[in-house]
Amino acid sequence: MGIVKISEQMHENLRIAGNALSRSINAQAEHWMRIGMLAELHPELNHRELSRLLIQAELAGGLTLGGACEPLRAVVGVAR
């Protein structure tokens, strides 16, 4: 675990979004990072498909860059 420095404005954005969605600031930041990571890895997927991918990854034991995303593409129904 490490420390990530972010701007005051981003911290405030995280606080607002976290409060609205009943998440801690850290949980909100991690959610945005996961969505961003998946969006960069799979630009062809929309937000709904990315959310399904996160749910399926969680059911499969968690999301990693080591390949957990690729097998789940079939579950989401997106071909390469």
The pLDDT tens digits for 3-49 are 889 999 999 999 999 999 999 999 999 999 999 999 999 999 999 99
Residue 3 lies in a domain: no
Give pLDDT tens digits for 40-73: 999 999 999 999 988 988 898 887 766 545 545 5
- CB environment 44-59: b (16+ within 10 A), e (fewer): ebeeebbebbbebbee
Instruction: Tell me the whole-structure pTM to 2 decimals.
Output: 0.72
The DSSP code for 66 is T
| pLDDT value of position 61 | 84
Contact present, 11 and 25 (Cβ < 8 Å): yes
Residue 2 lies in a domain: no
Residue 49 lies in a domain: yes
What is the domain extent for residue 17? Answer: 8-76
Residue 34 lies in a domain: yes
| pLDDT value of position 68 | 47
How many structural domains does the chain have? Answer: 1
| pLDDT value of position 7 | 97
